[in-house]
Amino acid sequence: MNERELRGLIGKVKAGKLSRRGFVQAMMAVGIGAPAAGQILMHSGVAMAQSPSTYKPTKRGGGGPLKLLWWQGPTLLNPHFAVGTKDQDGSRLFYEPLAAWDGEGNLKPKLAAEIPTKENGGLSADGLSVTWKLKQGVTWHDGKPFTADDVVFNWEYAKDPATAAYTIASYQDVMVEKVDQYTVKVKFKKATPFWADAFVGTRGMLIPKHLFADFIGAKSRDAPTNLKPVGTGPYMFKDFKPGDLVTGVANPNYHQANKPYFDSVEMKGGGDAVSAARAVLQTGEFDFAWNLQVEDEILTRLEKGGKGKVSVTPGGNIEFLLMNTTDPWTEVDGERSSLKTKHPTLSDPEVRKAIALLVDNKSIQDHIYGRTGPATRNFLYGPPRFDSKNNPIEFNVDKANDILEKAGWKKGADGIRAKDGKKLKFVYQTSINQPRQKTQAIIKQAAQKAGIDIELKSVTASVFFSSDVANPDTYTKFYTDLEMYTTTMGQPDPGTHMLQFVSTEAATKANKWQGRNITRWQSPEADKLYRETEAELDPVKRAALFIKLNDLAIQNQIVMGIVQRPTVSAMTAKLNAQISGWDNNTSDLSDWFKDA
């Protein structure tokens, strides 16, 4: 189905000639899943059918305590200062954004009365503004009303560099205006296709103006409410011990009827992932455990007792292989992997093609990651509407040998291929982490059969992922031929994610290796595609552009997806909890409940 046919169908739905369901079925027939189809309709201006609520309890409270186990406890509870997911998840017990992302990458209103669309006048046709209608009658935990002033205040608070909020990027380039007591308008400097950033999801949690107004800017660290949150969320703050415990009690005035179900909540921190899984799956001491980076084999064994279940939530995080486009072994102007160089052997496209054929994604999934790492070749695979179908996984040693032979890379006496005196010898680095070392071994083995010698290097995670400019072993410096790590995608919009392929984003000494383009790929074609995505307001066309950009990088073997890294959590058998890979684990906490 091409774009025109698709538009034709959407037109029919709009005109009422085709039912929503008929459209979704037509989409499914050509391989587009229901969520993606729904998304296309929503963005094309067809109102979204609210996904039916699965929430069963008919009254507030009565569910006893909800016990959450985070093996790294939250260390602070101001959402604007939350560094990692642990802090955001902890803040989310008490604070809410205007809207949250659900598991399929769709928006769900929280403090907003409705999701802005073109039809309800929320989205301007020129893409320069978005108008949010706020839910009325919402109160903060201390009884003060929640209004547009609070929303505007959060923008002022976060955009001030002196506040040093970690959320600043979502707020500094927009203008926020109060239209009336319950309406705010977010204005952009230029047409912005991805408008749902400020006030939405992980970086959109709202803090009360009346408690933070005196602590804007340089005084931000002195606000007493930093440690004693007062939000609008389903639970009210009770106690906080950084790194150890956060507790809360049900909010009797919560703005959604019959919620929350639990009388109190506690989030315990510390320990390690395996024992956290045990505490939920084997002993049932806790109801929910977060981020279980544990081998699937162990999880399956722990699950056998039947006390709990493992939940795997897809997102956009990808474990992938990068091939250096620059020469990591020659120093130019005080930096290796300099943009002024070209990789001596990897710059031959035939070599890259051969290496791609030697990555056995399927075996890596089957033998290492299991449910916690579905194989993929794409760099961009989520939400499903961005998942390209053009990059099948192909593992073929013979074909790789063939390609290299034809390209003139001949095996020497040591079994290693060479051409013009240059040998196919590579150093392949990653962080120390058992599944990664196993993956390295699988790829090395296959490469050997094709006459490519790979030297494995593993670096302590704290060094590999640090930004220490003095250390040559960080992933952003990429002073080796190949490397592998997981990059996270925090939002269901690939804008930031795809900076990986933009020339000007190359990590160099000049930008202290803070650029997002780690392979230093310089491609005018990719740059052009990325620029187009920045201006394209039509979500369908924009998705197509991102898919094209992904395909360009994958088919040039700049990077290669290995496995997806979904969110893995454990919950007791009776717990009903919707986890979203696009938002905090606790983003939907108000709707969690246990079967009686």
Residues that bind another protein (CB under 8 A): 65, 69, 72, 75-76, 78, 81, 83-84, 161-162, 164-170, 172, 203, 218, 221, 226-227, 239, 241-245, 247, 266, 268-272, 275, 278-279, 282-283, 285-286, 462, 465-468, 470-471, 476, 490, 496, 499, 512, 514, 516
Quote the least distance from Cβ 539 to another protein, whole Å: 22
> With respect to another protein, which residue has the nearer C-beta, 242 or 370?
242
Structure tokens at 211: 């408690």
How far apart (Å, rounded) are the C-alpha atoms in residues 324 and 553?
13
Quote the least distance from Cβ 159 to another protein, whole Å: 11
Quote the least distance from Cβ 418 to another protein, whole Å: 37
| Residue labelled with tokens 């587009």 | 32
> With respect to another protein, which residue has the nearer C-beta, 81 or 381?
81
Helix (H) or strand (E) holding 397, with range, is helix 397-406
Count how many Cα atoms sit within 13 Å of the Cα of residue 34 in the half-sphere of its side chain: 8
Nearest Cα residue to 273 out of 72, 95, 75: 72
> With respect to another protein, which residue has the nearer C-beta, 129 or 163?
163
Quote the least distance from Cβ 493 to another protein, whole Å: 12
Quote the least distance from Cβ 318 to another protein, whole Å: 15
> With respect to another protein, which residue has the nearer C-beta, 207 or 400?
207
How far apart (Å, rounded) are the C-alpha atoms in residues 590 and 570?
18
> With respect to another protein, which residue has the nearer C-beta, 303 or 591?
303
How far apart (Å, rounded) are the C-alpha atoms in residues 589 and 586?
5
Quote the least distance from Cβ 466 to another protein, whole Å: 6
> With respect to another protein, which residue has the nearer C-beta, 499 or 552?
499
Count how many Cα atoms sit within 13 Å of the Cα of residue 506 in the half-sphere of its side chain: 19
Sheet containing 183-188, strands listed edge to edge, beginning at the edge strand earlier in sequence: 129-133, 183-188, 174-180
> With respect to another protein, which residue has the nearer C-beta, 203 or 377?
203
SS3 259: coil
> With respect to another protein, which residue has the nearer C-beta, 491 or 557?
491
Structure tokens at 349: 């496209």
> With respect to another protein, which residue has the nearer C-beta, 163 or 564?
163
**Cis before residue 384, ω within 30 degrees of 0?**
no
Let me know: does 404 contact 354? Beta carbons within 8 Å. Answer: yes
Quote the least distance from Cβ 189 to another protein, whole Å: 16
- Give 319's strand partners: 486, 563
Nearest Cα residue to 236 out of 147, 154, 142: 142
Quote the least distance from Cβ 73 to another protein, whole Å: 8
Which residue type is seen at 386?
A: F
Quote the least distance from Cβ 142 to another protein, whole Å: 21
Q: Output DSSP code: residue 332.
A: B
Let me know: does 107 contact 99? Beta carbons within 8 Å. Answer: yes
